[in-house]
Chains A and B, each alone.
Chain A
Amino acid sequence: MSTNITLALVCGLLVGVGIYLLMARGIVRAFLGVLLMSNGINLLFLLASGNAGRPPLIRGADTGQDGMTDPLPQALVLTAIVITLALTGFVLALAYRAAEAEQTDAITDDTEDARVARAGEADAESEVDVLADPTSDDEPADGDVGAETGPGAGATR
């Protein structure tokens, strides 16, 4: 079976552009990336189904090289399209909700993550102390209480 080089190139292009868009911070933009990728992958299925131009149905024929076209990849693509459609609806609703709540559809950083990272940077030394002696809760204190963290994410949850 010879492969259709145009389809292969288009498939690669769609997936590539999709990955590029996926790295964006905006939800809608990133999701457009997912949509492009999924279309690229659908083309990959079409590539897998063999050459174009074969008849859709022949009584008693096989799905080999010269017989009728292979129906299975088309069924798979159809399923994938339906699933993507459902996901599109959900993600757009999510993006709307995010825009409503935060006035932007950009993905924001995780506050708890940032807090833990900050705490680690500020007090790396006593962190090591605790690691060295897990049984003791009576470590001598040499950090500054509450100066760095204050009301963190835990309070707002």
Chain B
Amino acid sequence: MSDWSWVVPLPVVVPLVGAGLAVVAGRRERWQRIVSLASLGFTMAAAAGLLAAAHLLDQPLVVSVGGWVPPQGIVLVADRITALMLLIASLTTLGVTLYAIGQGRDSHEHGDGESPLPVFHPALLILIAGVDTSFLSGDLFHIYVGFEMLLVASFVLLTLGGTPDRVRAGVNYVFVSLLSSMLFLTAIAMIYAACGTVNLAQLAVRLAQLPESHRVLLQVLLLVGFAVKAAIFPMSGWLPDSYPTAPAPVTAVFAGLLTKVGVYAIIRTQTLLFPGGGFVPDLLMWAALATMLVAIIGAIAQDDAKRLLSFTLVSHIGYMVYGVAVGNQMGLSSAIFYVAHHIVVQTALFLVIGLVEAHAGSTSLARLGGVAGTAPLVAILFFVPAMNLAGIPPLSGFLGKVGLLQAGVAAGSPLAYTLVAGSLVTSLLTLYAVSRVWSRAFWRSPGGDAVSDAESDTALQTRPSHVVPADPATAARIAADPAAADPLVAGPVTAARRTVPRGLLWPAVLLVVVSTALTLAAGPLYAVTDAAAREATARAPYISAVFPGGVP
């Protein structure tokens, strides 16, 4: 059984080594790509091995880093939740990397023409190493270090090229992230002061011995730090402002992974460190409800497709938090399933919006139109994950939501029922938001022949969608406002339709296929997440795997 434990550090070590090699490869683009793909492929294989081992052996795999025994040294623990997260994370990152390669030089294109080191691939590899560290670590401070690794890499990726737009978005993101790190660090210091350890398994025992008031204080401090990262309602405003300005592959990987690291940390601390009821789970339920509703209403108000998707991203974080907070095994299992589903679907959607941008030169809903006619494949690629996100049966989004609803009904409290209602409303509003993208960007006719275009635009107070409208009243108004008639600023982007390069297309196809395949694999996947939830709520397997001889 411990024969398998050598695999545990690989998801961290391999991308880090790969990042080093990718820097060395430097301007030899070909080599950099090979190194990047090879290390991600290897990471994915290791993660798949870990999942198989953790599931089949029915026991978490543990490695004491550097041979130091647990309370003294850091432990890496791979149980089912961790292994599943690792697998999904490396899978989506691989897809995004392929997409970035298909994009060619665009992925590290620089707005001002200067081109320093090609940092995209090394930064992405360090990001995934940081994400994997946070997933694997069995030590609170080590999780903090993992967070910082992924944050620094994400800072670099977000401000790639250093254009004013990205710098502005980057500054907001950097400060919000730093603040959440400070909160997390404060929580660690307090936890150490109270318990004298930062090892998760040891904390699980020692935190239970603390007075209730101290425990709640530590729990809330940790949760606030993680909630900023996971973009849970009062702390979610930063996300839609910062993600959409980055290049498409960067936005896609951020949307898929970064918030989910926060969700994972919440799952881990809620189940292992602070099990049981109290007022904190109720607080989380309210936060989940507010996250779902406020963000999805925000999505409806958006005109830019990337921002709209960022809002749906925040909104659906609420589902996962709800699953964790509802406090039964089914809720936890569905939450884990939903995380896996949502990582893939959200990444796929952002990549497809990237395809739309490559095709039509814009992501503004007021300026797009008729993409379904000019690029039918892109339209299909958008439609399937969009319906999946909204939770249309029989897709995996539906299955995840049904699990969550069942968990809410099983919990039976009035608050749980409120959440059930809230999540149904959110699901409907998500459908509305994505179908708005569909009907405006893909379906309506691109040219100046449809009067309804102008009217639906007017309804949302955006720019006119065509230069010479059939409706005389609109034409008169445009005549009164010459800027609106200028085809450069107000016209639809129909003239400059380009065929989407094949290199961009097939990674997106790959991710859409994977997201749809999760529907078919839902049975086995739910078997894994059920077992993972059982393992996590029992707590004993984790603790005894780290301390086989009893907790010191």
Q: Which residues of A contact B (CB under 8 A)?
A: 22, 27, 30-31, 34, 37-38, 41, 44-45, 47-48, 70, 72-73, 76, 79-80, 83, 86-87, 90-91, 94-95, 97-98, 101-102, 107-108, 110, 112-113, 115-116, 119-120, 122-123, 126-127, 129-131, 134, 137-155, 157
Q: Is B167 an interface residue (CB 8 A)?
A: yes
When C-beta atoms are compared, the residue in chain A nearest to B440 turns out to be A137
Given contacts A48-B192, A80-B185, contact A34 B456 (CB under 8 A): no
Is the CB–CB distance between A41 and B186 below 8 Å? yes
Given contacts A45-B192, A83-B148, A154-B366, contact A145 B489 (CB under 8 A): no
Q: Is B339 an interface residue (CB 8 A)?
A: no
Query: A residues within 8 A CB of B178?
Result: 34, 87
12 A-B interface contacts by CB (under 8 A): A37-B182, A87-B178, A110-B169, A127-B461, A129-B459, A130-B459, A138-B455, A145-B474, A146-B477, A146-B478, A150-B483, A155-B364
Is the CB–CB distance between A45 and B189 below 8 Å? yes
When C-beta atoms are compared, the residue in chain B nearest to A95 turns out to be B171
Is the CB–CB distance between B458 and A143 below 8 Å? yes
Is the CB–CB distance between B179 and A22 below 8 Å? yes
Q: How far is the CA of A34 from the CA of B489 in the complex (A)?
A: 41
Q: How far is the CA of A108 from the CA of B483 in the complex (A)?
A: 25
Interface-side segment among B298-306, B316-324, B327-335: B298-306
Contact partner, A145, options B174, B362, B454, B486, Cβ 8 Å:
B454
* 0 or 1 for each of B179-207: is its CB under 8 Å from A? (1 = yes): 10010011011101100101000000000
Given contacts A145-B478, A149-B462, contact A110 B241 (CB under 8 A): yes
Shortest B16–chain A CB gap in Å is: 16
Determine the interface band of chain B, counting residues with CB < 8 A from chain A: 35 or more
Q: Is B413 an interface residue (CB 8 A)?
A: no
Query: B residues within 8 A CB of A30?
Result: 175
8 A Cβ contacts from B443-466 to A: 444, 452, 454-464
Given contacts A48-B193, A80-B185, A127-B301, contact A151 B455 (CB under 8 A): no
Shortest A23–chain B CB gap in Å is: 10
Query: A residues within 8 A CB of B196?
Result: 70
Is the CB–CB distance between A138 and B456 below 8 Å? yes
Is the CB–CB distance between A101 and B164 below 8 Å? yes
Q: How far is the CA of A142 from the CA of B362 in the complex (A)?
A: 27
Is the CB–CB distance between A144 and B477 below 8 Å? yes
Q: How far is the CA of A5 from the CA of B461 in the complex (A)?
A: 59
Shortest A142–chain B CB gap in Å is: 8
Is the CB–CB distance between A94 and B174 below 8 Å? yes
